[in-house]
Structure 1
Amino acid sequence: MKVCLAAALVAAFTATAMSQDSPAELLRELQAQRELLEEQRKELKQMAETQESMAGAMDSAWLVLCGALVMFMHAGFAMLETGCCRAKNASNVLMKNLVNVSVGTLGWWIFGWAFAYGSQAGSFIGTDGFFGLGFYNKDASGNIVPVECDDGNCQSTMLSWFFQWAFCTAGATIVSGCVAERVKSPTYAVFAFCMTSFIYPVIVAWTWGGGWLASIFGVGYMDFAGSGVVHFTGGVCGLAGTVILGPRNGRFENPEEFEYHNIPLIVLGTFALWFGWYGFNPGSTLSMHDKEMGALAAQVAMNTTLSAATCGISVFLLKFVLTRKYDVGALCNGILSGLVSITAGCGNMECGSAVLTGFIGAFFYQAASSLLVRLKIDDPVDASAVHGACGVWGLLATALFDWGKGFDHYHGWSGFGCMTSDDGACSKGIGGSAIAAQLVMIVAIIAWAGTLSTLSFLALRFSGLLRIDDHTEKIGYDMHSHSPPKAYAFSGQDPKLEDSSPQKPVHV
């Protein structure tokens, strides 16, 4: 019996041993598992690289698209300004807008980008990147590769250059409307170059470029998309220009002769600007690589829409109460005023605050517009009221209506989240500092842009290069200097037939 039991145990042990792998087989199995894990690791790395590449491509596509939308705003500026001015200067106004973009592009390429976003010395101004230098590198194989942005948030410095170029030239175009119908075209081209190459870039260096305003009072300024950097700067420069130029001859003696000559162009320009603003504001997220950025862009777009609509209808109704007339031009300027008002705070407000921002912006615009007339300051398109006054309000509203529990939790640049301290907790009690930072920014823009633009226009005035002569102003810049000598063929006839027809006296 014992012998049988022992035999059974030996057989069982032998079977078990036979069923197990030998050491060599175990090593082969472990090696296979290791190779599988290595393959999976490579796949995960490749997936991560692909995801990062796709995110970068999304960001690039987003900024190129939004930059193109902002560039299209020049069509809106051109139409709006042309409609607001007299028909005899229509061609000159259009030419001036085209020259502004062209000259401004060269100014931004030669000096502007470098001063705005180059390596800063003392947080004042950039010092490298002139003429687009430093936009390319060579890899180990000698291939040319684009240089990424300094903060690593975009795949190419050229991408940021393009997007910020659109903002730069838009700011300069604001001045064009203020000085329309009496400034010499070559003179304006000189000023446009100065503004895009030096005046505006220094403001950018102080703010978006990470200069001294970025950390002032420990909280820094807040201007999400440019109520101050772009619009207020343009409004200040434009106001200086129109004051130094003086009013158009007869502007306040015979105001009926200076009414808008083409309401359809004004409305078309307003819609084009409103459309382009969806590149201006949502594009300032500077990214579209994840769900959070998409949600922020949507919030910005919603706030932009609400403020524009609220301010537009508020100005329209206010004007109707004052005059008992429907004023389409006022409605258009009201919409633009709402857009300017929300541009700084569109990323750190909830929708109710955006509506309130637009509503209050209507009174800022109307008060500024009325004050210009009272002071006999001739701004043909009310640009200094729209962009200047509402630019100031936009900066203040950003701090006043910051999204959070009053001033307990300040959000600022953090969007949906609160600004945090070093320990990661939400910062509290900094609302006063935020308002103070905005006030300092307003003063800084007035001091810099106002002083330099005033000196520039005064120098041009005393040299006799600023204003056209009275005869040219009377007959119109188109008749004096353009070919063909008018922008419209109202009769629809062939110009040769019109030239051969009997001439009638023209009263200008």
Structure 2
Amino acid sequence: MKMLTVSSGWRCVPAGLAALLMLFSMALQPPAWGQDAPAAAATTEAPATAAETPAAETPPPPAPLTTAEIKVMLDTVWVLITGMLVFFMNLGFAAIESGMCRAKNCVNILSKNFIVFAVSTIAFWAIGWGLMFGNDKPEEGKSDGGWYGKAGLLFVQGADNSPATGDGYKGDYASIGWTGVPLNAKFFFQLVFAGTAATIVSGAVAERIKYHTFIVFSFLMGTLIYPIVGHWIWGGGYLASKGFFDFAGSTQVHSLGGWAALAGVIVLGPRIGKYSAEGKVQAIPGHNMSLATIGCLILWFGWFGFNPGSTMGVDPGLMSHVAVTTNTAAAFATITATATAWCLLGKPDIGMTLNGCLAGLVAITAPCAFVSIWSSVIIGSIAGVVVVIAVMSFDRIGIDDPVGATSVHLVNGVFGTLCIGLFTETSLIPAGTTLKAGLFTGGGTDQLIVQAIGVGMCFAYVFPVSLVIWFILKATMGLRVTRQEEIEGLDIGEHGNEAYPGFVMQAPSGH
């Protein structure tokens, strides 16, 4: 009986579904109200002819998109996607920095790299964007050789806040025409660059800085340091008016972050155990070179957002060219850094190999759009050699940089910026700009001099301002953890946890 009852119940399902479908179809029919009801019934019995019933008005098809509208859509998608790639580089920095440092400081380094982008976001949104891209001559509605933005300073307020949104602003690269990209797309893309500059400092001051002090410095960097130089270079300010070029940030991001990091390292001093009583350099190896290698590969991948994305618009030829020069420089720098380390250290050190790759990427960042593929070979090859020598030289003079950030970003950021004045090709100069051919490619020294002035101005502002901020923070908040905390590790002292709880390194036994 139970089975019969169940079976009978299931036989009711089709009937129920049919009833629901009928009700659903009725609900989709337009209702007949008032005087329309008899007409509806009559229609059912005797449909009217087409002549008797006026045809329903069909809405006109949407107007086809114009070429300009399609370009704005494509440009915006490109800018946002490449900006997301640059954001993803935060993971690369976190991985390579933590891998190149000791296990006892892993949580601290991961946490710093995670929180630094949040801090940079708030700082750049609140005031950094306005100082960087706000018009320095608001009465004239433009930026023209000034020192900082003055209009619409707070919270990315509107069109007058960005000369890039005005019809009269064409940026450094007039032929690209990126003025059509929405303000929020520009803001997001510039924000991830500002965050990258702050992460450079993180690695250089690792393993001995107080967590809360680093957070405060990162905020000040996003409000007082990065945006001011950014206005000079990318906001229509002084250096832009003099013909200085930096396509994707060898100076604006990398050497700027490097100068701030160098100031911090000097004020902090070296880690305990880095130098013997006699002053001899003692290696402090990283705890996880697998993690460091993964981080470097992520950064290499993210750089295809960093450099090609800086076209700020869809230009197939330019995007492709930048991608190839970027990759070529990284590849050759990887090889030359490995070979240089092999010759000088007797072994192909993996840390030098990874930093060589990053050095090539940093060096090609400024000139990537303006130099030939063969020039990118030369630039990358030199960068790989320079970074190894720089790491060893900084160690010898007492500059303890655990991850080589100053050698990678500062030294090669300067070198890459000068490469615009050395290797710029006439055929690659954007239309409507004042960029001149390089010294080695048929031009004179004019562009090289302008690039050198830009490098000097970045140093003259960033290094002393950073130095003052570090000293003020040291006097007010404290800069370095206690000796005991440094010996035990910042993970326990600063965060109260460990990256590898329960894991104990065993010394090799037997031999």
Q: Given the two structures, how large is their TM-score scaled by the length of structure 2?
A: 0.78
Identify the match of residue 308 of structure 2 among 279, 282, 296.
282
* 1:489 matched to 2:501: yes
SS at match of 1:120: coil
Answer whether contact 1:337 1:386 (CA < 8 A) is retained.
Answer: yes
- In the other structure, the counterpart of 2:469 is 456
- In the other structure, the counterpart of 1:317 is 339
Distance across 1 between alignment mates of 2:213 and 2:363: 31
Answer whether contact 2:125 2:156 (CA < 8 A) is retained.
Answer: no
Distance across 2 between alignment mates of 1:296 and 1:382: 32
Answer whether contact 1:111 1:198 (CA < 8 A) is retained.
Answer: no
Give the drift of 1:68: 0.3
The verdict on how the C-alpha distance between 1:147 and 1:437 changes in structure 2, with shifts beyond 3 A counting, is: closer
The verdict on how the C-alpha distance between 1:439 and 1:420 changes in structure 2, with shifts beyond 3 A counting, is: closer
Question: What are the ranges of 5 or more consecutive residues in structure 1 without an aligned counterpart?
Answer: 1-41, 138-145, 422-427, 493-508
- In the other structure, the counterpart of 2:366 is 344
Identify the match of residue 400 of structure 1 among 397, 401, 422.
422
Distance across 1 between alignment mates of 2:235 and 2:284: 41
- In the other structure, the counterpart of 1:124 is 147
* 1:469 matched to 2:495: no
Report the identity percentage.
36
- In the other structure, the counterpart of 1:143 is none
The verdict on how the C-alpha distance between 1:72 and 1:133 changes in structure 2, with shifts beyond 3 A counting, is: closer
Distance across 2 between alignment mates of 1:366 and 1:418: 39
* 1:443 matched to 2:466: no
SS at match of 1:462: helix
Distance across 2 between alignment mates of 1:126 and 1:286: 21
Q: Deviations over 1:428-472 (max 9, x none)?
A: 986322111101001100011101100001112233511111111
* 1:230 matched to 2:266: no
Return 203-212 or 147-156, whichever deviates more: 147-156
Distance across 2 between alignment mates of 1:59 and 1:459: 43
Q: Deviations over 1:125-144 (max 9, x none)?
A: 0113334343379xxxxxxx
Distance across 2 between alignment mates of 1:357 and 1:350: 10
* 1:186 matched to 2:212: yes
Identify the match of residue 434 of structure 1 among 411, 429, 447.
447
The verdict on how the C-alpha distance between 1:315 and 1:462 changes in structure 2, with shifts beyond 3 A counting, is: same
Distance across 2 between alignment mates of 1:354 and 1:318: 19
Q: Alignment RMSD, CA only?
A: 2.5
Give the drift of 1:331: 0.5
Give the drift of 1:147: 11
Distance across 2 between alignment mates of 1:378 and 1:481: 21
Identify the match of residue 196 of structure 1 among 198, 209, 222.
222
Distance across 1 between alignment mates of 2:158 and 2:241: 28
Matched length: 419
Identify the match of residue 327 of structure 1 among 326, 331, 349.
349
Distance across 2 between alignment mates of 1:266 and 1:187: 25
Answer whether contact 1:147 1:157 (CA < 8 A) is retained.
Answer: no
Distance across 2 between alignment mates of 1:79 and 1:479: 20
Distance across 2 between alignment mates of 1:287 and 1:155: 8
Letter in 1 for 2:500: Y
Distance across 1 between alignment mates of 2:164 and 2:416: 32
Q: Deviation above 4 Å: which 4+ runs of structure 1?
A: 254-257, 417-421
Give the drift of 1:257: 6.5
Letter in 2 for 1:174: I
Q: Deviations over 1:297-345 (max 9, x none)?
A: 1000000000000001100011111222121111100000000000000
Distance across 1 between alignment mates of 2:432 and 2:119: 41
Give the drift of 1:148: 7.9
The verdict on how the C-alpha distance between 1:148 and 1:257 changes in structure 2, with shifts beyond 3 A counting, is: closer
- In the other structure, the counterpart of 2:79 is 63
- In the other structure, the counterpart of 1:38 is none
Letter in 2 for 1:190: V
Letter in 2 for 1:192: S
Answer whether contact 2:281 2:395 (CA < 8 A) is retained.
Answer: no
- In the other structure, the counterpart of 1:85 is 101
